Structure 1
Amino acid sequence: MAQFDTIRSTAGARTAEIDAGLRAHMNKVYGTMSVGTFITFLAAWAIAGLAVTTDPSAASAQLSADKYLTSLGYAIYASPLKWVIMFAPLAFVFGFGAAINRLSASAAQLVFYTFAAVMGLSISSIFLVFTGESIVQVFLITAIAFAGLSLVGYTTKKDLSAMGTFLIMGLIGLIVASVVNIFLASSAMAFAISVIGVLIFAGLTAYDTQNIKNTYLQMAESGDQEWLGKAAIMGALSLYLDFINLFMMLLQLLGNRE
């Protein structure tokens, strides 16, 4: 009897240790993602501010009746450089994924924050297209929806892996459709992409949260803190991309244009 009690006590202590480790891991994931999101929107706001002027003498191109693009604004929004900026985040993600095994956890975190700044440059035009009030409103809507979806992914007992495969296939199709519509400029297609995108990234938020949790539980026994640190960064990247893309899709649907 005493031996059974000892085994049960040991198992309980180990379970509590894993639960505490999981909470710390998820806190690091959400914390890193939050810092990355802050960097993105701060960079986007700052760059948009430098790209626009009301002084005609400092203008490189006219944006509206009383707003003009500065030389920086013209370079990033109207010159061929805009294509590099548009696709830079996608190239960054693939490069980051390929290099993660060769990076330390601290280096991976630095690369993630650099990527967040690049993403800020890529989406900075939202401050020229949409009103500041609607950007804030959509951001809050996205934050509330993301929190609820992530909570579902964390707490559900249902295995979402099958849904994840379907969503990733849908994401590939969405990327292809978005690239095609850059050249077609179809408003109907853009609306359809936004609606489908909201559904895909809503599902991916729940799926990625469950995947991050399951990955930790599978690898916690190894005790490899360096690997777990990098896993937290990659988890933060997944949720960060879900949040940013969900925000951009909702902004296309709900945002008020300038």
Structure 2
Amino acid sequence: MTGRANHIDTTAAEAYERFMVPSLFGPWVPDVVELAALQVGEHVLDVACGTGIATRLAAERVTASGRVVGLDIDAGMVEVARLRSTQAATPIEWRCGDALDMPFEDGVFDAVLCLQGLQFFPDKTAGLGEILRVLKPAGRFAASLWRSIEHCKGHHVLVQVLERHGVDAAAARRPFSLGEADELRNLAGSAGFRQVSVRAVMKLVRFGSPQEFVENLAAGAPSTRHALAKLSEHERLGVIEEVSAGLQPYMDNEGIGLPYASHLLLAHP
């Protein structure tokens, strides 16, 4: 471990990378990177980069002749991202910073990515304005945002079960709070983007079992972990049993395949 890592707590970020990224976030990364149409030599920013799965793929696309920066407000996420990219062929700059006040000059990036991050910005219009500010005039912004929770079956069932148990599941609903296409178009337009397109993509998110799904969220999902932490062990077992019943139609010989839908947004200055 580096000296930097000695005083940065990476426990939550490591759990996020292990339990959430491969199954829940990873499947949409190639879609967003393809949507951005990255070219060799371009300068790319990944906002709310988390542990850097999209940042690393972007670096592969632009190669060492380009520039790639990952920015996240969580120091633990940035440190895990940094540690996972030490062997990358294309150097990546990792920054800990606020998406609403980014430490970059105007008009320096050909493309900005944001995967499942915009819905967490405290001021979404201001955040989009910052993204627009750092883009070159011919740049593009590519993002993914979950559709409303009804289109993301695992969380939909889990939240319903938690609320039946009297648990405040508002935090677990938050990732799906910006799930309407018209709202996204209007939001991007109000921030100053002139060309905005939004389309929905559904994929199957796979887990070994309903129990694995719940336990992975409990370990690695920041917005769901707190709701699940309110349960006693007995209550948790009851939740797992009810979630298992609710997700039974999605069981197969390989475990469980849950339909999740995300919007892909592409916007130009």
Higher helix fraction: Structure 1 or Structure 2?
1
Question: TM-score, normalized by length of structure 1?
Answer: 0.21
Whose radius of gyration is greater, 1 or 2? 1
Higher strand fraction: Structure 1 or Structure 2?
2
